[in-house]
Structure 1
């Protein structure tokens, strides 16, 4: 794996804060060891693990994914350049035209989303399509784009595809032909799959009180699979089947995997998109910015999100008419354009209609 990230440009080192020492209620997530996919016995064991994870949590860890801790650290070094090494003027110049294009490619700047009680977000993110040549990048990032492109392809072919194809974990759980999902996720086809560098900045205490310590309200991702590279600031929570919010614990050099709406639709509810949110970190980590690296996978633009299974999960109802199922492009563009732009009546579950589909936000 030494040549996966062709590091040949110096980069300032990003030093994350220490892990929290606070007493935290952690989510007890299963772990998928990708080194086990080389045997049939290993594949069977991992299928059982993913099946359990989807039924009980909707999230799981992945370890032994092939990148070393040193390569992992360099990815975060490069990610920080997108924020600490790019001027405000360049960020504005490379800002994504989110409402117009229905795409996040480029920068989402702070205070674009409404969070709660008039408080807007303090989140910046920079998004790179899996085809990194689709648009120009800020000058400060250009020397690192060969590494970024290599890392993006690694996420797609060495992590996403093992979940979809070599190990066939999701296909095995759902009971469809083993190539079903991977055929919908072609690296060279047009699609909105992207790599995201993301930075949460601390807020004022006044805003924290007004937003009830919520940095990003409860939601489900709208793609198929989300790959989060674990980082030490404790802020991500998942909503358990018992309706209790619990924190996701940092595991060094591990990945945190969850299913999004699109894979829930394709699987007829057998794989369920999990509700999660981001909140203010515990006291010993407050004041530090939270740097994240994500890979948001989606199918090819033209793929229909109609179920690929013959029978829906018992009790599961699609959020759209199966005969009029949206394509991935239609669904993603609608979600991207609408997200965080509507001030909804405050309820425990807030609902809005996007392209005829009910979208829920959780307070």
Structure 2
């Protein structure tokens, strides 16, 4: 059973920045009350809502997910530690080896990813495997590894698994079809990462047209983001318009990634999203993000679940022949090692592409 958040180790409070007062064009995303998933009737209704949200946008909010506002605050407090309480020299000691190993564990230091026109990113990540014993961590973070483990367990069992059951119902499959592919103790690279985005110079903003992270899809199955007030996240709507994702206190922002699109035969699409410069009244704030990036077990082949009655009725959108489907391990390593490091080919209309494991991966400027 998931453990409770530790309140034993004292921790300085991270003050969330104020919300923006700028009138922004927000995406109209569904709000899913996950507390209703505890009854058969609630799951039946939610499965329809989640299915429709995934088909329309690939993004939705979750409320009543089991964390109180104080527990969520504690997680932001812990998430700030690897950035505010670790020196630059120590960060280098725990830097990840993404290009060499295809693993995001450790720090993704600033200016590792090329954004555009010679400008590199100002995003700093600290990525922790759901098994925190996989590697050593900065000294300042070690007292809070119990919090990180509890956070990973809560998201895996109390958020991810209920969502996967709803998505399976949407495919008219047994409820645990997708859950069985996402073992907590199995070999894999599901992360509980933190992200700190720092303001950039005017020159860098002009060169990149205010884009901090190009439009892309996540490579796992489901991404869980804890909503925070500093704007920047946008999704590309089906009619080709970028819209902002609104902050909702103590809500989660959920989206599907490549692996879910592959497994669902294109029924649940991996949504294109990007990060841009925050609105003008938030541009002096650092943007702290807390995520849970989920993936299937490493040995799972990402072939369509052809036994789905839904897919049998409507057909399957394939990105590769089923026999050539990559495993989760192959796909995540290919995407991880290439992202922000490879030479992209312009295909026009603000779209750039690369080929990973025989699959065309697009990026949007």
Measured against the shorter chain, the TM-score band is over 0.9
Residues 210 and 138 of structure 1: is their aligned pair in 2 closer, same or farther, counting only changes over 3 Å?
same
TM-score for both structures, normalised by structure 2: 0.96
Q: Structure 1: give runs of 5+ residues left out of the alignment.
A: none
1:133 Cα deviation after fit: 0.5
1:280-303 deviation per Cα after TM superposition (whole angstroms, max 9, x unaligned): 001000011100000000000000
1:177 Cα deviation after fit: 2.1
TM-score for both structures, normalised by structure 1: 0.96
1:150 Cα deviation after fit: 1.0
Q: Aligned pair 1:262/2:259, yes or no?
A: yes
Q: Which residue of 1 aligns with 2:364?
A: 362
Q: Secondary structure at the match of 1:195?
A: coil
Task: Number of aligned residue pairs: give it.
Answer: 360
- Once residues 364 and 28 of structure 2 are traced to their aligned partners in structure 1, the CA distance between those partners, rounded to angstroms, is 21
**How does 1:273-312 map onto structure 2 within 5 Å?**
273-310=270-307, 311=311
Residues 218 and 91 of structure 1: is their aligned pair in 2 closer, same or farther, counting only changes over 3 Å?
same
Work out which of the residue numbers 245, 268, 271 in structure 1 matches 2:242. Answer: 245
1:40 Cα deviation after fit: 2.2
Residues 355 and 339 of structure 1: is their aligned pair in 2 closer, same or farther, counting only changes over 3 Å?
same
2:124 touches 2:195 (CA, 8 Å); kept in 1? yes
Q: Which residue of 2 aligns with 1:90?
A: 90
**How does 1:99-178 map onto structure 2 within 5 Å?**
99-164=99-164, 168-178=165-175
1:38 Cα deviation after fit: 2.2
1:39 Cα deviation after fit: 2.1
Work out which of the residue numbers 191, 200, 203 in structure 2 matches 1:203. Answer: 200
**How does 1:20-59 map onto structure 2 within 5 Å?**
20-59=20-59
1:94 touches 1:138 (CA, 8 Å); kept in 2? yes
1:3 Cα deviation after fit: 6.1
- Once residues 316 and 222 of structure 1 are traced to their aligned partners in structure 2, the CA distance between those partners, rounded to angstroms, is 19
- Once residues 313 and 250 of structure 1 are traced to their aligned partners in structure 2, the CA distance between those partners, rounded to angstroms, is 37
**How does 1:310-349 map onto structure 2 within 5 Å?**
310=307, 311=311, 314=314, 317-346=317-346, 347=348, 348-349=350-351
Work out which of the residue numbers 171, 175, 180 in structure 1 matches 2:177. Answer: 180
- Once residues 2 and 192 of structure 2 are traced to their aligned partners in structure 1, the CA distance between those partners, rounded to angstroms, is 21
1:100 Cα deviation after fit: 1.2
- Once residues 298 and 66 of structure 2 are traced to their aligned partners in structure 1, the CA distance between those partners, rounded to angstroms, is 29
- Once residues 240 and 284 of structure 1 are traced to their aligned partners in structure 2, the CA distance between those partners, rounded to angstroms, is 25
Q: Secondary structure at the match of 1:140?
A: helix
Q: Structure 2: give runs of 5+ residues left out of the alignment.
A: none
Work out which of the residue numbers 328, 350, 353 in structure 1 matches 2:352. Answer: 350
Q: Which residue of 1 aligns with 2:70?
A: 70
Q: Secondary structure at the match of 1:320?
A: coil
1:202 touches 1:286 (CA, 8 Å); kept in 2? yes
1:283-331 deviation per Cα after TM superposition (whole angstroms, max 9, x unaligned): 0000111000000000000000011134478575322221111100000
Work out which of the residue numbers 225, 243, 253 in structure 1 matches 2:222. Answer: 225
- Once residues 313 and 129 of structure 1 are traced to their aligned partners in structure 2, the CA distance between those partners, rounded to angstroms, is 38
- Once residues 44 and 242 of structure 2 are traced to their aligned partners in structure 1, the CA distance between those partners, rounded to angstroms, is 31
1:62 touches 1:256 (CA, 8 Å); kept in 2? yes
| Consecutive aligned runs of 4 or more in structure 1 exceeding 4 Å deviation | 312-316
Residues 3 and 301 of structure 1: is their aligned pair in 2 closer, same or farther, counting only changes over 3 Å?
closer
1:2 Cα deviation after fit: 11
1:270 touches 1:313 (CA, 8 Å); kept in 2? no
1:179 Cα deviation after fit: 1.5
